[in-house]
Structure 1
Amino acid sequence: MKLIGPAFALVAVLIASAGCGLFTSGDSPRQPSPERSTLRVGVADPIDTAPLRIAVAAGKFRESGLDVELVDLGGDDGVAKLTAGQVDVTFGSDVSLFRAAAGGTALQLQGEAYTSGRNTIALVTLPGSNYDEPTAKKAPKIAVYRQDDIGALTARSILATAGVDPAKIHLVPSPYQQMPQTLQAGGADAAVMVEPYITRAEKELGAQILADGSNGATLDFPSSGYAATGAFAAANPRTLSAFRHVLTQAQQTAADPATVRDALPSLSDIDETTAALISLGTYPTTLSATRLQRVADLMHSSGQIPNRLDVQAMLPPEDQQ
């Protein structure tokens, strides 16, 4: 037994140093190269996309023969840029991706980005608010980023679970940055915020969490992912396979929250103190149709999409069962 360790180590060293020289061309068939060497990927939320950004900065995609160019989406619709050919892969909330698919846009999912965790999305109020529990108002005004995105879906789920009639909820569109001002001005009773806006509002304004958004039907809820058009996926299967492979490795490194917290200040405008305090969800390493179907089914049951969407059909062929 004592000989196995050193012997194995010696073989490993020889393989690492000699590389392919240890194999004949017949022993190790050359892997086909990606159809293209450059992939333009639209990105937004720095927390959701942190593993991807870290991997790009570390040159991990180049090691697989792929030069990933990150395109900041800002407030633009990633799917619109995708269909216009301005990006090859886009990041987006699962709700926005499934809404586009339900509307007839052919999309192939390339990876899950982020799953909500405790207090990563929440119903927030400011000090002095008379809205101190979800059922305190029969017709609450709730600030959400968009009326048809994950915040709206979460708000309706939270309040319906608490016993509020979803039909009486008034959704008030507001950018995350302006939600505190909306609350201060009385434009909304509460706001559905995500990190780092929750932590910033707590630090700067003494904001309070009225209800955790990761609860009930939205417990550990899939939040976001990456997608390509069906046409691009059909024409570039090896390119996207290489992208998914490195993305999976990147997501695995984010299992340690410190990896994300340490990187956020260099990836975004999130300062070190806020990065240390924010609540973090998880970074899935697999594409799960079962997990993602929860989002599509909740969208259907809440009326966001007219017909039930089959998420399984949106996965790459090797992930379909």
Structure 2
Amino acid sequence: MATRANALRLTAVLITCALTAGCGLFDSSSDNVAADVERTNLRIGVLPVVDVAPLRIALTEKLFEKAGLQVTLVPQSNEADSIKQLDTQLDLTWATHVSLFRAVAEGTELQLQGEAYQAGPNSMALVTSAASDYDDPAKKPAPTIAVNNETDIGALTTRAVLDTAGVEKQRIKFKTMPFGEMEQALTSGTVDAAFMIEPFITKAQRKIGAKIVTDTARGPTLDFPMSGYASSKKFADQNPKTLKLFRDVLRQAQQAAANNKLGVQDSLTGYADVDQPTAALVSVGVFPLGLNPIRLQRVADMMDTEDVLSGRLDVQQLLPPGTNNS
């Protein structure tokens, strides 16, 4: 009888839990998910590029909110400034891996929190005007190329691809300007070509009839890891559980984006200054699901080879403890 009585008491407890949601046994609310983290709000610096579409999708689908995190995306004008704002106006920021690794080499203590984007066909390219005869990367022995930063991913991958085509790297002339000014530079003939990423490539194609000279994700830069998210090392040390939760939700968001190319393209109309017809033509690359030290080391090693870094950078030292290949 005692056993039967105990069973009846347990049944009553379970029924009460189910009816009142007052018991943690079945409770999967966002409050409990985030109850153990150091903080529940994050400010993330972003630029209007395809790379950050998963974050936009995550906000729309309330993935962060369901996990108990309040995320604010803070628009930035350039990566260098956003990295400098870590620990003041920003908690994390998006940037190209090249920018992040260069900042580390210059003394900024960072920890990588996720990969954002990996190059796919025509997701980054050298683009020229409709009237240009520059239709092959080997055609001009000393081209003038517009880049948004002479020490960022554009110059790095342009040198690698043109070198493969037989163009001497020291003869390439780079002209620095924002992506938004490159269309005018192409039509005026100020530059022979411009390194662009999406959605700027498709916008230039539709607006000025721009043509792709060459995909810059080919040969030595095929499937090139383009960008990611980072926090300061100080913030990471103080908020490891919060950032672990961020990485978990980011993985969900990256998976959602990978499974829904149309959703990625549609999201661009809300933040990247493109209309629906343009968004539908944007080339979408790859959204990695985790931090892969081997993949990321490839970027650092190329930067070392191209003298963007003064020595070899060990990327594993920039990853959260326990990070393995993903």
TM-score of the aligned structures, taking structure 2 as reference length: 0.87
Structure 2: how far apart are the matches of 1:191 and 1:245?
36
Contact between 1:93 and 1:150, CA under 8 Å: does it hold in 2?
Answer: yes
SS for the counterpart of 2:151 is coil
Per-residue deviation, residues 5-52 of structure 1 (Å, max 9, x unmatched): xxxxxxxxx9x9676847399xxxx77511012111111134111111
Task: Please state if 1:131 is matched with 2:115.
Answer: no
Q: Which amino acid aligns with 1:274?
A: T
Alpha-carbon offset, residue 128 of structure 1: 2.5
Matched residue, 1:314: 318
Alpha-carbon offset, residue 132 of structure 1: 2.4
| 1:24/1:282 CA distance change after superposition, 3 Å | closer
Q: Which amino acid aligns with 1:23?
A: L
Aligned counterpart for 2:94 among listed residues 57, 80, 91: 91
Provide structure 1 residue ranges, at least 5 long, that are not aligned to the other structure.
1-13
SS for the counterpart of 1:128 is coil
Aligned counterpart for 1:237 among listed residues 230, 237, 240: 240
Structure 2: how far apart are the matches of 1:46 and 1:140?
26
Matched residue, 1:268: 272
Give the RMSD, CA atoms, in angstroms: 2.1
Alpha-carbon offset, residue 101 of structure 1: 0.9
Farther off after superposition, 234-243 or 37-46: 37-46
Structure 2: how far apart are the matches of 1:259 and 1:17?
36
Structure 2: how far apart are the matches of 1:145 and 1:291?
24
Q: Which amino acid aligns with 2:252?
A: Q
Alpha-carbon offset, residue 319 of structure 1: 0.7
Contact between 1:126 and 1:184, CA under 8 Å: does it hold in 2?
Answer: yes
Alpha-carbon offset, residue 231 of structure 1: 0.7
Aligned counterpart for 1:41 among listed residues 38, 44, 60: 44
Matched residue, 1:141: 144
Shift >4 Å, 4+ stretches:
16-20
Contact between 1:313 and 1:320, CA under 8 Å: does it hold in 2?
Answer: no
| 1:73/1:24 CA distance change after superposition, 3 Å | closer
Per-residue deviation, residues 41-77 of structure 1 (Å, max 9, x unmatched): 1111341111112212332212222111111112362
Structure 2: how far apart are the matches of 1:46 and 1:24?
40
Matched residue, 2:7: none
Provide structure 2 residue ranges, at least 5 long, that are not aligned to the other structure.
1-14
Structure 2: how far apart are the matches of 1:17 and 1:204?
59
Structure 1: how far apart are the matches of 2:137 and 2:269?
34
| 1:22/1:204 CA distance change after superposition, 3 Å | closer
Structure 2: how far apart are the matches of 1:320 and 1:137?
43
> Which of these two proteins has the greater Rg computed from alpha carbons?
2
Task: Please state if 1:171 is matched with 2:174.
Answer: yes
Alpha-carbon offset, residue 266 of structure 1: 2.4
Aligned counterpart for 2:68 among listed residues 65, 68, 91: 65
Q: Which amino acid aligns with 2:208?
A: L
Q: Which amino acid aligns with 2:72?
A: E
Per-residue deviation, residues 265-304 of structure 1 (Å, max 9, x unmatched): 1233221111110111011111101111111111110010
Matched residue, 2:294: 290
| 1:46/1:82 CA distance change after superposition, 3 Å | same
Task: Please state if 1:204 is matched with 2:207.
Answer: yes
Per-residue deviation, residues 154-175 of structure 1 (Å, max 9, x unmatched): 1101100101110111001121
Alpha-carbon offset, residue 152 of structure 1: 0.6
TM-score of the aligned structures, taking structure 1 as reference length: 0.89
Q: Which amino acid aligns with 1:79?
A: I
Structure 2: how far apart are the matches of 1:135 and 1:61?
47
Aligned counterpart for 2:250 among listed residues 240, 247, 252: 247
Aligned counterpart for 1:303 among listed residues 292, 303, 307: 307
Contact between 1:50 and 1:267, CA under 8 Å: does it hold in 2?
Answer: no
Contact between 2:143 and 2:173, CA under 8 Å: does it hold in 1?
Answer: yes
| 1:23/1:115 CA distance change after superposition, 3 Å | same
Per-residue deviation, residues 102-122 of structure 1 (Å, max 9, x unmatched): 112111110001111101111
Task: Please state if 1:222 is matched with 2:222.
Answer: no
